[in-house]
Structure 1
Amino acid sequence: MEKHKELIIGLFGFGVVGEGLYKVLQQVPSFNATIKKIAIKNPGKKRNAPAELFTTEKDELLLDKSINVIVEVIDDADAAFDIVTTALNNGKAVVSASKKMIAEHLPALLKLQQQTGVPFLYESAACASIPVIRNLEEYYDNDLLHSIKAIVNGSTNFILTRMFEEKLDFNKALLLAQQLGFAESNPALDVEGYDALNKWIILLAHAYGTVEAPENLLFTGIQNIELSDAVVAREKNLDIKLVAQAKKLSNGKVAAFVLPQFVRADDHLAFVKNEFNGVVIESGFADKQFFYGKGAGSLPTGSAVLSDISALRYDYKYEYKKLYHHTPAKLTNDFYLKIYVSFDKISDIEKDAFEWVEEWHIDHGRNYLTGVIHAEKLLKKNWWKQPGISLILTAEPFIDNVEIKKLKKRSLELAGILPH
């Protein structure tokens, strides 16, 4: 029986994920993988590992010919890109958890993988312990993948769960998330949707072969969700989640975005609470499949890094089949969404942007409307992201362009529902 390739690891970063990986490897001695050196920024900090493992010199890892795998789990995207680039050019396989770095540099990283032929794996960069990248890469054919929707950020999901279950307002729920370690002291990347957006850019490449810059995707976070929105949702037996989704439209193009959404009680994603993540994939013959697991934390993320390290023993690499062996799906913003908006003043709302408004009323001290809007109009203007305005997708948000003319005709009956 052929012996597995021995892996000698140079590890960058010994925070939550790095230490998690170190602990996991200690518990799996048969793994045939050894951490030879760990690069860190602050040498004075006490760490739960032998002092001789640590260095502040990155070249001790990148230029060491005996090290054949670089594992990069740092939070500096620019430094991470430099490490990954140097390692691949030096013929070292790389495992990374840096979603921001991968999302921002995806075209360059794809080119580098083609030029060097060296594996670059990053399962832990999206959904931590859930093996979603490998499944999209190996299992789902582009032509049969109807849609993928997911909760990919544990911090925002924890906050929304607390707002619903304990009736906390946003700021109190955020404070609790920070106290329990589910949100950073500076939570903007999570709560404003940037973290979910970066993960979605990565998953789109494996789902549909779509390589897109983060700034071209429609997104926001949960920073403007009010407790009154949760009250409205509860009255309608709905939940609110920050949902990343992509759907193949009838013209073959893909609509993709990250936005808060009302979720029905029987939706798979309604089951995903607190810091957990969930992914629902709908394909031609398999119908819906649901992946569920911890999306953050030391050991869940460490286990995903370990899974990539394990795959390197067999020289596994992503083939990007949807990108290189199929015709990649094109992203489009030519589609319509049905949205709910809550707001303080009618003057804050760009009324003319809506195709039509179905409902408008005042309740719980707030104004509410439900209407249909073209995605391009949301992408080009930011009025709906301003403080005091909360935009949430309805439970069935997509309106196909073919249907829009029929619905527009019917909507004329509702004309004049908004005050001027």
Structure 2
Amino acid sequence: MSKKLTIGLFGYGVVGTGLYDVLHKSKTVDATIKKIVVKNKDKKRNISPEHFHYDKNEILNDDEINVVVELIDDADAAYEIVTTALKKGKAVVSANKKLIAEHFEELYELQKKYNVPFLYEAAVCGSIPIIRNLEEYYNNDFLQSIQGIVNGSTNYILTKTFQDNLSFDEALKEAQEKGYAESNPILDTGGFDARSKLQILLAHSFGIKTVPEDVFNVGIQNLGDLEIKYAKEKNLQIKLLAYAQKRNEEEVAALVIPKFVKSTDTFSTVNDVFNGVKVQTAFADKQFFYGRGAGSLPTASAVLSDISALAYDYKYEYKKIENSENLKLTEDFNLKVLFRHPSKDADKFQPYFENIEEYYGNKEQGYFVGDISFKNLKEIFSQNSEEVSFVLIEVLH
């Protein structure tokens, strides 16, 4: 039997507004929003001002509120809200991937200590129910890998670059005009948002707890004409992928990096702001999840799903974390990459490669296509970050 949920909502932006709408249209969820706390008193909203409060304690100190829904942009403020709510015994629903990725260990321990659920399906891939599936459906199968297009902003930019022949700068500007990318878009284009989501997926797929520095990420902010032309000549697309692969019984390789995608690959059909996640298991082979990765109502639907689950006392069991202490991230693997660099630095970077299959260079820039160890790739970025133009993965092996 479900229980009555009394909600305190933090944030009334794109997702908060969507949640208010879908919750009032839902006839199956026995939940009401008692209070909404926002930051800006002067902002015009689509419901009357008496719905809003401006002090977080209006919700946190209200004993009638048993569910806190956190939908704000500020990860630091969200941290204080979420941790306080958990310590007060309130269930929490969040869509803040940065908060979860940066403080996963602490949030995991707080759930156990205070025996309260913390759900965050909307933090990864919007409307796609990937976390719940990893928790439940794949719990007893032998998961081999998970990879996904998990950032709608970069996928929109790449789609426009390849389908509409826009330059990177033109596509980025269009994404910003449509509200898909921020005025400072580096969290998306640099692969940092995707990294946060991959950290969450690692916990629920392989039971590996991480901090941001544990996961290597390369973005698309330096995407140039040379590799775009290369891809088009070979009938390839470029997608920013979050990737985790089990190498053996103890090690998992994980990274965020642009990848060449063949026209026959399912990821080639994931365009615009859509997301897609591919899961491969030992027995069920490959399965694919596809849906809107952002937006008011799609993300709000994932938040509503978590709220609905709380009515039946659902919580993540984290069985993979409890049972997979032996799994850890590894740097012992090779990549086949296209590596673009200033032509004058070709001799500097060539020794990092174990094998070079192809080389091109003009007066200004060139590229290698070849095999490089992950350790060497990381060293290039750490030692020569200003001189590295771009890198694309072809094959993980």
Taking structure 1 as the reference length, the TM-score comes to 0.91
SS of the aligned residue for 1:17 comes to helix
- Describe the superposition over 1:277-325 as per-residue Cα deviations: whole angstroms up to 9, x where unpaired: 0000000111100000000111111111001001000000000010113
Structure 1 unpaired stretches of 5+ = 400-420
Aligned to 1:389: 389
Aligned to 2:31: 33
Aligned to 2:329: 331
Number of residues paired by the alignment? 395
**Distance of 2:8 and 2:19 partners within structure 1:** 12
* Counterpart residue identity of residue 374, structure 1: S
Q: Is the 8 A contact 1:281 1:288 kept in 2?
A: yes
SS of the aligned residue for 1:158 comes to helix
**Aligned residues with identical type, % of pairs:** 52
Aligned to 1:231: 229
For structure 1, which segment, 21-30 or 68-77, has the greater mean C-alpha deviation from structure 2 after superposition? 21-30
Give the deviation of 1:364 after TM superposition: 11
Aligned to 1:190: 188
Query: For 1:181, which of 179, 182, 197 is the aligned residue?
Result: 179
Aligned to 1:88: 86
Give the deviation of 1:30 after TM superposition: 4.0
**Distance of 2:191 and 2:155 partners within structure 1:** 11
* Counterpart residue identity of residue 139, structure 1: Y
Aligned to 1:403: none
Give the deviation of 1:92 after TM superposition: 0.4
Give the deviation of 1:168 after TM superposition: 1.0
Aligned to 1:356: 355
Q: Is 1:148 the counterpart of 2:146 in the alignment?
A: yes
Q: Is the 8 A contact 1:113 1:120 kept in 2?
A: yes
Give the deviation of 1:334 after TM superposition: 0.9
**Distance of 1:335 and 1:287 partners within structure 2:** 22
SS of the aligned residue for 1:31 comes to coil
**Distance of 1:192 and 1:389 partners within structure 2:** 13
**Distance of 2:355 and 2:174 partners within structure 1:** 39
For structure 1, which segment, 304-313 or 384-393, has the greater mean C-alpha deviation from structure 2 after superposition? 384-393
Aligned to 1:294: 292
Query: For 2:156, which of 158, 161, 174 is the aligned residue?
Result: 158
Give the deviation of 1:379 after TM superposition: 2.4
For structure 1, which segment, 115-124 or 249-258, has the greater mean C-alpha deviation from structure 2 after superposition? 249-258
Aligned to 1:16: 14
Q: Is 1:264 the counterpart of 2:262 in the alignment?
A: yes
For structure 1, which segment, 325-334 or 75-84, has the greater mean C-alpha deviation from structure 2 after superposition? 325-334
Structure 2 unpaired stretches of 5+ = none
Q: Is the 8 A contact 1:168 1:227 kept in 2?
A: no
Give the deviation of 1:373 after TM superposition: 1.1
Cα gap change, 1:270/1:324 in structure 2, threshold over 3 Å: closer, same or farther? same
**Distance of 1:32 and 1:140 partners within structure 2:** 29
SS of the aligned residue for 1:274 comes to coil
Q: Is the 8 A contact 2:342 2:387 kept in 1?
A: no
Q: Is the 8 A contact 1:104 1:214 kept in 2?
A: yes
Cα gap change, 1:320/1:54 in structure 2, threshold over 3 Å: closer, same or farther? same
SS of the aligned residue for 2:328 comes to coil
Taking structure 2 as the reference length, the TM-score comes to 0.96
**Distance of 2:169 and 2:163 partners within structure 1:** 15
**Distance of 1:364 and 1:9 partners within structure 2:** 62
* Counterpart residue identity of residue 393, structure 1: I
Q: Is 1:103 the counterpart of 2:101 in the alignment?
A: yes
- Runs of 4+ that moved beyond 4 A: 363-366
Cα gap change, 1:100/1:139 in structure 2, threshold over 3 Å: closer, same or farther? same
